Amino acid sequence: MSNDSATPIPPLPERSAAEAASAGADQQQTAAYPPAYGPQPQAEPTYAWAPAATVPAKKPRTGFTGGKVTALVLAAALIGGGVGFGGAWLGGSVFGGSSSSSATSGSGTQSITINNPDDINQTAAVAASAMPSVVSIEVSSADGQTAGSGSGVVLSDDGYVLTNTHVVTLGGAVSDPVIRVTMSDGTLYDATVVGTDPTYDLAVIQLDGASGLQPIEFADSSKVNVGDSTVAIGSPMGLNNTVTTGVLSNLNRSIEIASSAAPDDSSTDSGDGSDSSDSGDNLPWFFDIPGQDQSQQQTTSESIKIAVLQTDAAINPGNSGGALLDSDGKLIGINVAIATASSSSSSEEGGSIGLGFAIPSDIAKRVSDEIIADGSATHGLLGASVQPASGVQGATTTGAYLAEVPSDGAAAKAGLEQGDVITQFNGVRVNDAIDLTAQVRAAAGGSEATVTYLRNGKEQETTVTLGTLS
């Protein structure tokens, strides 16, 4: 069981109005949260990959520190608008506003609208700084029958872009995607997949013939705090260059999501997952794949467990792969999932209810660096079968209970034994089996990790040299 009280779904490609209408109300899908102990509320929120928008075939929050954004405010005055900053572009275009700043970026085109350069707030400054590094991604199958969209962030001046695996594969539905990328200034590029990492739902693509792009600047996601201000930039519902704001609500969430693109862990030793009753087809999380009905989406028996930052910045279908930024305009996370409040009559493509999730930038950087260098990324393997400690008779704390510890695994070699309860992994609190798996997979294969555990009521610590997930 996850330590979240709702169920996660990543920002995927959302459907077009025509496709949604043709699917019919009887095709709409909701997800029920699994039974839990004690009285249950009448309605539970459900999570979904923020769906990517299907495409045809072919209020600023206080809390930013003034000193940090002074340079960004100056930058905002220089980077005028035209493609859209929130509702400013819509207002200027639809209602005929003409007082916007006309300052241009280095490429000679404009990426956000600044109507009053003398009164720029911190959110506009952050958006002006980072907008050129966030892109919109359109994906389709070779025959054009399946299509969707998402977002991405620029990694290098020659066109490497980081996004989600579920964006470039449309949730596992497409193996040879046709990809087109739109920059914030409207420049178009074709792109190819460099490599995907289904284990952490990350992927790198490269733009054909790109040069002189502005790479995103990474922050250290291990240094952020609950309550820090956040800015999300992406293309929800295909609306490029959309900016929303919020705060970091929690730093160490872990979510498990059914994924047809997930690797099959059955070939590994006994794994690091939760007990076997939590098979992928029984999970309340699913990919919302355009062009596929409910039965097709629920056939997978595989799932992924990922560590995420939680934010209340609005993240919606199509935001997947986009940027979650700090008050300096630096990347702290890659937007990946949202929780939606759904019922039997709700749309399968729900919107934000203030529960958004992003893969921490430290994990995203390691994985993307490995993909660019080697075409794939490695992930740690503890070599033990674990289950939630809260379900074990006599347990005195939450954690990950070691149910089986094979003698040839990394856990046994580090001195861990059956019956131990892991409570921390590399200094991060572990509340259940999903937490542990997410943290182990976040680490590189072969890396060392510090594990804190309870044995016979006594807290102990050991260093584990992780195996590599095959």
Looking at residue 408, its pLDDT comes to 95
Q: How far apart are the first and last CA of the chain?
A: 24
Higher pLDDT, 115 or 460: 460
Q: Token pair of 308, please?
A: 């995420």
> What single-letter DSSP state applies at residue 123?
H
Instruction: DSSP for 405-447, please give it.
Output: --TTSHHHHTT--TT-EEEEETTEE--SHHHHHHHHHHSPTT-
Q: Compute the average pLDDT of residues 345-365.
A: 79
pLDDT recorded at residue 90: 25
Residue 4, pLDDT above cutoff 60: no
Q: Is the pLDDT of residue 297 over 90?
A: no
Residue 411, both tokens: 């856990």
Strands 331-341 and 356-360: antiparallel
Q: Is the pLDDT of residue 281 over 50?
A: no
149, 54 Cβ separation under 8 angstroms: yes
Provide the residue type at 144 as one letter.
Answer: G
pLDDT band of 193, cuts 50, 70, 90: very high
DSSP state string for 141-193: -TTSSSEEEEEEEE-STT-EEEE-HHHHTTTTT-SS-EEEEE-TTS-EEEEEE
Residues 6+ apart with CB under 8 A from 393: none
Region of poorest pLDDT, from 118-127, 131-140, 198-207, 362-371: 118-127
Helix, strand, coil shares, percent, the chain, to 5: 20, 30, 50
Quick check: 198 and 165 in contact, CB under 8 A? Answer: yes
Does the active-site annotation cover 379? no
Select which of 101, 140, 166, 288 is catalytic: 166
Concatenated DSSP letters of 228-289? -EEEEEE-GGG-TTEEEEEEEEEEEEEEEEE-TTS--GGGSSS-S-S-TT--GGG-S-----
DSSP character for 327? T
pLDDT at 354: 84
pLDDT of residue 137: 96
Contact 79/85 with Cβ under 8 angstroms?
Answer: no
3-state secondary structure of 147: strand
Catalytic residue from among 274, 320, 327, 385: 320
pLDDT of res. 119 = 83
Q: Which two tokens stand for residue 366?
A: 């390691």
Residue 389, judged by CB atoms within 10 A of its CB (0-12, 13-18, 19+), counts as buried
The pLDDT of residue 303 is 84
At residue 35, the pLDDT reads: 31
Q: What pLDDT sits at residue 175? A: 87
**Whether the predicted pLDDT of 43 surpasses 80:** no
Interstrand relation of 178-182 and 134-140 (parallel, antiparallel or unpaired): antiparallel
Higher-pLDDT residue of 186 and 101 is: 186
Out of 19-23, 150-154, 202-206, 390-394, least confident range: 19-23
pLDDT of residue 319: 92
Distance, in Å, from the CA atom of 171 to the CA atom of 52, rounded to the nearest integer, reads: 10
CB 295 within 8 A of CB 27: no
Annotation says 320 is catalytic: yes
Say how many C-beta atoms besides its own lie within 10 A of residue 22's C-beta. 10
Mean pLDDT score, 233-238:
91
Which pLDDT belongs to residue 198?
95
- When computed from its CA atoms, the radius of gyration of the chain, rounded to whole angstroms, is 22
Cβ-in-10-Å burial (0-12, 13-18, 19+) of 46 comes to buried
pLDDT at position 350, please? 61
Set out the domains of the chain in order of their start, with CATH numbers.
Answer: 1-377 (2.40.10.120), 380-468 (2.30.42.10)
Alpha-helix residue ranges (DSSP H) falling in 256-415? 294-297, 361-374, 410-413
CA distance 61 to 322: 20
C-alpha 64/C-alpha 459 separation (Å) is: 39
Instruction: Return the higher-pLDDT residue of 9 and 208.
Output: 208
Distance CA 42, CA 91 (A): 40
Instruction: Write down the pLDDT at residue 208.
Output: 98
Query: Tens digits of per-residue pLDDT, 121-159?
Result: 889 999 999 999 999 999 999 998 889 999 999 999 999
Clarify whether 166 is annotated catalytic: yes
**pLDDT-derived band at 363, boundaries 50, 70, 90:** very high
Section 60-85 average pLDDT = 34
Q: How confident is the model at residue 223 (pLDDT cuts 50, 70, 90)?
A: very high
- Assign 333 a pLDDT band (cuts: 50, 70, 90): very high
Residue 377 burial (C-beta neighbours within 10 Å; 0-12, 13-18, 19+): buried
Mapped onto helix, strand or coil, the DSSP state of residue 89 is helix
Q: How much of the chain, in percent, has pLDDT values that exceed 90?
A: 55
Whether the per-residue pLDDT at 8 is higher than 70: the answer is no
| Cα–Cα distances in angstroms (integers) from residue 230 to residues 252, 268, 358, in the given order | 16, 38, 11
List the catalytic residue out of 201, 272, 288, 312. Answer: 201
Q: What percent of the chain stands above pLDDT 70? A: 66
Query: Does 452 score more than 90 pLDDT?
Result: yes
What are the pLDDT digits (tens) for 74-116? 332 222 222 222 222 222 222 233 344 433 333 334 467 878 8
The pLDDT value given to residue 462 = 98
Return d(Cα 351, Cα 374) in angstroms, integer: 36
